[in-house]
Chains A and B, each alone.
Chain A
């Protein structure tokens, strides 16, 4: 019998994997993919809690739709910035892009 905790642990694991990628990867595109994993963990959490805690409401699903919309906007802007940085610096290594570092 599957309980709410099964699904919550999957989403917690996905979130932790995303955090790990965010902290270790040096390629800006892979850092962005880790952020997508984290956003997916969040929307999975909304769906799970919506299904198990408020089964008659669609509020959780509406929040998941908003997360997907925000993720699309964020991915487009981040890709434009990464491609723009690559044009000037010929690298997307986040450790070599230090222009704003004091």
Chain B
């Protein structure tokens, strides 16, 4: 019962804030509504036994990406400024496309039988430990290669971001 109440509360928070992100005329408000939506997703992660992911979501998204987005909002025009309105010739097709995607996904989900695979290994040390071991293990089901590739990608992205954003001919 409590779980159901939490589910619908998080649904209203997540989807309501997400709708406001894409409809509010103020860019700064959109950034603030994005925080609400991301916190709702973090709540869902908590409900789905992914408490480590929930903490990562809050740290990286709310603490990092949203701050970056707010910096970009501040650097690209007045924060209180309204953005250009979209005409209905753009809004209506977009609504049809996104509604069609939603309907197609719901139809596919209703047709699919999700068979529960029984666990092949048990994580007695908690799953945060299991994630750490899996990420750094070399075996056939280890993820060390993607882990290292993502590390290189992050470094490349940060260096690239600095190069692109710095002053022309800067010192």
* Neighbour of B68 across the interface among A20, A70, A76, CB < 8 A: A76
Q: Establish whether residues B101 and A19, one from each chain, have CB atoms under 8 Å apart when the complex forms.
A: yes
B-chain residues with CB within 8 Å of residue A32 when the two chains form the complex: 69, 72
* Neighbour of B101 across the interface among A15, A65, A79, A86, CB < 8 A: A15
Bound complex: CA A14 to CA B18 (Å): 7
Interface residues on chain A, size class: 35 or more
A-chain residues with CB within 8 Å of residue B18 when the two chains form the complex: 14, 17-18, 37
Interface residues on chain B, size class: 35 or more
What is the CB-to-nearest-CB distance from A75 to chain B, in angstroms, rounded to a whole number? 5
* Neighbour of A84 across the interface among B4, B49, B119, B165, CB < 8 A: B165
A-chain residues with CB within 8 Å of residue B162 when the two chains form the complex: 80
Known: A25-B22, A33-B30, A53-B117. A66 touches B150 (CB 8 A): yes
Bound complex: CA A43 to CA B53 (Å): 10
What are 30 of the A-B contact pairs (CB < 8 Å)?
A12-B101, A14-B14, A14-B15, A15-B101, A16-B102, A17-B19, A18-B22, A19-B98, A20-B94, A21-B21, A24-B90, A29-B30, A30-B30, A34-B22, A36-B34, A36-B65, A40-B37, A40-B61, A43-B53, A54-B119, A57-B120, A59-B134, A61-B53, A65-B131, A68-B60, A69-B153, A73-B157, A77-B157, A77-B160, A84-B164
